[in-house]
Amino acid sequence: MAQLTASVYTSHVPAIGAAIDHGKTTEPYWQPVFKGYDFSKQWMKDNTPDVIFLVYNDHATAFSLEMIPTFAIGCAAEFQPADEGYGARPVPTVIGHPELASHIAHSVIQDDFDLTIVNKMDVDHGLTVPLSLMCGQPQAWPCPVIPFAVNVVQYPVPSGQRCYNLGKAIGRAIASFDAPLKVQIWGTGGMSHQLQGPRAGLINKEFDNNFLDRLIADPEGLAKVPHIDYVREAGSEGIELVMWLIARGAMSAKPPKVVHRFYHVPASNTAVGHLILENQA
């Protein structure tokens, strides 16, 4: 059977992608950000999974106001990096895993969560920046990736509780796939940030670090935090953090092993948070 080995959590910021693509990672502004991922890149090499199930949000790139799926699973054989207005990032094509994606779609939908099935989609910085942070600049990504897009851009957005419960269903789906695959689940986006309006630039270190503490040790309680608390405390884009609860919900009930924790402000307008949690055998 497939086995969920670990979960990875990281912010995404388009400027981080640009810093990597333009060779600026050692500049004084960026060096402390990338330093937090040195451990992670080595860990990825030592713990390369067979598949990554990558929970992220699209930023009106593949979807627009014309069509807004709350939860969308990418079942295609491949996904191209999107052109977000500056040309596509010079990163590898994302290779999918249609068999596992279809199995998860079947299992999760029969488990009462309504997913949108996507057979063609480009993937924006929400997906490619986490891959770059964890894998550097390889010729090809180290394994297939199943993109799982969550609407946290256009209201109404799903609750933390819904995301956490969905993560549990995804965990059950992975565990019932009849092939000996090692699977990681990644929760991305966040941490506190607000990009528009009078509160643009908002960052809340206390909220973020409490979120990290509770994601590790009290995910059940954290799942109960209502969306309005994220918006008030972590800014309008801080709501991206509910996606981390999907990854955490998929982990086994035993307390996870914390193998890496990192926090830095700011990167562009965003607080950068990062965790690697391993499932205990």
Binding residues for ligand DHB (CB under 6 A):
12-15, 59, 193, 195, 237, 268-270
Active-site annotation holds for 22: no
Peptide bond into 156 cis (omega under 30): yes
Q: How far is the CB of 129 from ligand DHB (least distance, A)?
A: 9
Nearer to ligand DHB, 76 or 241 (CB): 241
End-to-end CA gap in the chain:
15
Three-state secondary structure along the chain?
CCEEEEEEEECCCHHHHHHHHCCCCCCCCCHHHHHCCHHHHHHHHHCCCCEEEEEECCCCCCCECCECCCEEEECCCEECECECCCCECCCCCEECCHHHHHHHHHHHHHCCCCCEEECCCCECHHHHHHHHHHHCCCCCCCCCEEEEEECCCCCCCCCHHHHHHHHHHHHHHHHCCCCCCEEEEEEECCCCCCCCCCCCCCCCHHHHHHHHHHHHHCHHHHCCCCHHHHHHHHCHHHHHHHHHHHHHHHCCCCCCEEEEEEEEEEECCEEEEEEEEECCC
Q: How far is the CB of 52 from ligand DHB (least distance, A)?
A: 20
Furthest-apart CA atoms within the chain: distance in Å: 51
Side chain identity at residue 189, one-letter code: G
Nearer to ligand DHB, 101 or 245 (CB): 245
Pick the catalytic residue from 97, 103, 193, 274: 193
Nearer to ligand DHB, 14 or 158 (CB): 14
Q: How far is the CB of 253 from ligand DHB (least distance, A)?
A: 31
Nearer to ligand DHB, 165 or 188 (CB): 188
Nearer to ligand DHB, 15 or 231 (CB): 15
Active-site annotation holds for 193: yes
Q: How far is the CB of 199 from ligand DHB (least distance, A)?
A: 14
Pick the catalytic residue from 125, 227, 260, 274: 125
Q: How far is the CB of 271 from ligand DHB (least distance, A)?
A: 9
Q: How far is the CB of 204 from ligand DHB (least distance, A)?
A: 14
What residues are labeled active site?
A: 125, 193
